[in-house]
Amino acid sequence: MSAPIAEQNLTQAPAPVSFWQAFLFWLKLGFISFGGPAGQIAIMHAELVERRRWISERRFLHALNYCMLLPGPEAQQLATYIGWLMHRSWGGVVAGALFVLPSLLILIVLSWLYVAWGDLPLLAGLFFGIKPAVTAIVLQAAHRIGGRVLRHRWLWAIAGAAFLAIFVLHLPFPLIVLAAGLIGYLGGRYAPTVFAAAAGHGPARHDYGAALIDDHGPRPAHTRFRWGRLAWLMAIGAALWCLPMAWLTLQLGWQHAYTQMGWLFTKAALLTFGGAYAVLPYVFQGAVGHYGWLSAGQMMDGLALGEATPGPLIMVVAFVAFLGGYQQALLGPDALFLAGALAACLVCWFTFLPSFLFILLGGPLVESTHGKLGFSAPLTAISAAVVGVILNLALFFAYHLFWPQGFAGQFDAPSALIAFGAAVALFGFKRGVIEVLGACALLGLLIRLAQ
């Protein structure tokens, strides 16, 4: 363990870090990466920039700016990028994989407990309180992204149009993303001040001392762009996607649930501009609305479990897939757990494979310049549309929660009060997600026990 900053010689870079030292750190990070992207990035900054000085703040922010431009979980991609900088391609693969694997294992276990014993009064009471909290959390996500992106009336108009497109017209999420991207592209050419980049990450603000990966050192050979390396990695990436997809198609058929899971979550991986909340409506449309792998209430429970476990929030796809494999008994009635676990592992493969490829393919190009990178105009428009899509998801959850039998049925006042209290805690008192989930779960249990 490195010494406290006050005791370090800040004029000299730390000793070189071996592959296995880095391996242990990435493993630890996989178990402590709570708090969503902001919390996970803050943990990495504190550990890698401030405490260990493995990378300078300017290089850290430069890598982060690139990851913010990509579809996919930016914190996991940032870990992959830094691992690649330190220990070549295998370093990036290990860093990114260890960011995900602990969360995958934890969610497989929790998903199994959920489907096996979720009807027990104790667990039922806890989830009764968690679901209203999830509605408030999704609403907060829309507010948080909107506050960062919606800085012009035209961006507000895009957000409103996206909301109407999915709420009224029921248009698919990919179409909304493509339309927003096209509007942003045209706007960037003809109205650049309107579609200027949303607030990004600027230059370094602190000097924490000399770092292993500093601002002015020579570039390692593996960070230099080479056409041969690009072609080789593209071939490997294509094989890693095509071979399992071809096997699933040939052995099980295109319409089999495992094959469709791979296809659905491949598309989801390429649409996660704006974070996991942006793609949740698309996953919801497919997994709940189209395929019926789980119910709307179960989706809300899965989102709560994703919020309460380490790793990227997009790991909720593991819960979705586990329930799909388990409840449909895809491997027969005697292998329910195995069917669910296999589905969870399968969708994680197809969900995260593009993230690794984006970093390993694009890293050398990004390292060729250390100028500031920001959101492009198309991405700004997509982010604006995402706000409307997430707002639709919050309203959808609220409707199914407060009127479980439809508007003609009874209004669920206790759930509405819990949701209101969660919103006050999140917006008014700025409490953390884990705190709010815990308090609402306890309140839901008390209400259920009192009924």
**pTM, 2 dp:** 0.75
**Residue spans of the chain under pLDDT 50:** 1-3, 5-6, 197-204, 371-375
Instruction: Give the 3-state secondary structure of residue 170.
Output: coil
Q: What is the pLDDT of residue 7?
A: 52
Helix 121-149 to helix 413-423 angle (10° resolution) is 40
108, with CB counted inside 10 A (0-12, 13-18, 19+), is buried
Cβ atoms of 433 and 137 within 8 Å: the answer is: yes
From residue 150, alpha-carbon distances to 156, 197, 257 in Å are 6, 11, 38
Distance CA 322, CA 112 (A): 8
Cβ atoms of 299 and 282 within 8 Å: the answer is: no
Cβ atoms of 340 and 107 within 8 Å: the answer is: no
How is residue 136 written in tokens? 């408030």
How many other C-beta atoms are found inside a 10 Å radius of the C-beta of residue 324? 24
Report the chain's C-alpha Rg in angstroms: 22
Q: What is the pLDDT of residue 301?
A: 84
Query: Looking up tokens 């990851």, which residue turns up?
Result: 67
Q: How far is residue 330 CA from its own chain's centroid?
A: 27
Q: What is the pLDDT of residue 400?
A: 79
The residues that bridge with 213 in the sheet, in sequence order, are 55
**Cβ neighbours for 422, distance < 8 A, ≥ 6 positions apart:** 132, 133, 135, 136, 137, 436, 440
Cβ atoms of 159 and 446 within 8 Å: the answer is: no
Q: What is the pLDDT of residue 210?
A: 81
CA angle 303, 79, 354 (to 5 degrees): 70
Q: What is the pLDDT of residue 151?
A: 80
Q: Quick one: which H or E segment has residue 143?
A: helix 121-149
Cβ atoms of 243 and 353 within 8 Å: the answer is: no
Q: What is the pLDDT of residue 198?
A: 47
Handedness of CA 32, 37, 41, 43 (dihedral sign): negative
Q: What is the pLDDT of residue 272?
A: 67
Distance CA 347, CA 266 (A): 8
Q: Quick one: which H or E segment has residue 197?
A: none
Q: What is the pLDDT of residue 207?
A: 65
Q: What is the pLDDT of residue 438?
A: 85
- Parse the chain into domains and list their residue ranges: 100-198+228-450
Beta strands (DSSP E) in 150-242 are none
User: Helices marked H in 45-120 — which ranges?
Assistant: 57-69, 74-117
- Amino acid letter at 386? V
Q: What is the pLDDT of residue 436?
A: 85
Q: What is the pLDDT of residue 389?
A: 80
Q: What is the pLDDT of residue 242?
A: 97
